[in-house]
Amino acid sequence: MGKINNNLVGGFSGQTGNMIGYMWRGKWYVRSKPKQYRDACTEQQVAQRSLFRNMVAFAGKAKYVLRLGLHQASLDNHITECNYFIRINKGCFSMEEGEFVVDYIDLVLSEGPVAPVAFKAVQLIDETTVRIGFDKNPEHRAVKPGDSVYLAGYSPEHDMFMLSAPFSRSSESVEMKFPSEWAGSQLHLWGFVCDGLGNASPDEYIGCGVLAL
């Protein structure tokens, strides 16, 4: 690695011949281009890369959920919500015979100090609408008037997450309508609470079922 001194008029970025120019910590540097790059591409390496690509893609589909459920936790760890989600959920993802597998039950979509609610059984209002009652403060902890209860739903068939509208604790139930094409599809549901300051509660995996009466 060579440092460009002030006698040169500026630096350069990119490749020129066998030299690569770049800036680091406000100073320009040059280095020679590697002569050869070896990639063993073993079966284990290929599987690991495939697993990581799938984890990143899955996190991206949940980004609107994670912006609520993991916002403060990600700030505390100085990384994005998606990166924090991948860090804490590595054990929930695997590749089995080339297929991406998710442990939905142990998956963490939300964490934090906010008092949770206790969700009750799922009621199907119609083929694409669910309603779930909840005990608004089962742990008898301090709560704030602005706390909002959310549902998050994921359809493996459509490979898509959806987030409900916010409901207050005093409503004692939350309702969520899914797209008409989700009728007859498998659905995973989670619930969590957020306050007005960006903090969240631990999420609760409510269960898995089919959207059908």
**166-207 per-position pLDDT tens digit:** 999 999 999 999 999 999 999 999 999 999 999 999 999 999
Contacts of 156 (CB under 8 A, 6+ apart): 186, 188
Strands (E), 14-55: 14-16, 19-24, 27-32
What DSSP state is assigned to residue 95?
E
Q: Do 134 and 119 form a contact (C-beta atoms < 8 A)?
A: yes
Name the CATH code of domain 44-210 (choices 2.40.30.10, 2.60.40.10, 1.10.3720.10, 1.10.760.10). 2.60.40.10
Q: Where are the domains of the chain?
A: 2-32, 44-210
pLDDT tens sequence across 26-58? 677 777 766 665 666 777 788 888 999 999 999
> Above 60 in pLDDT, residue 5?
no
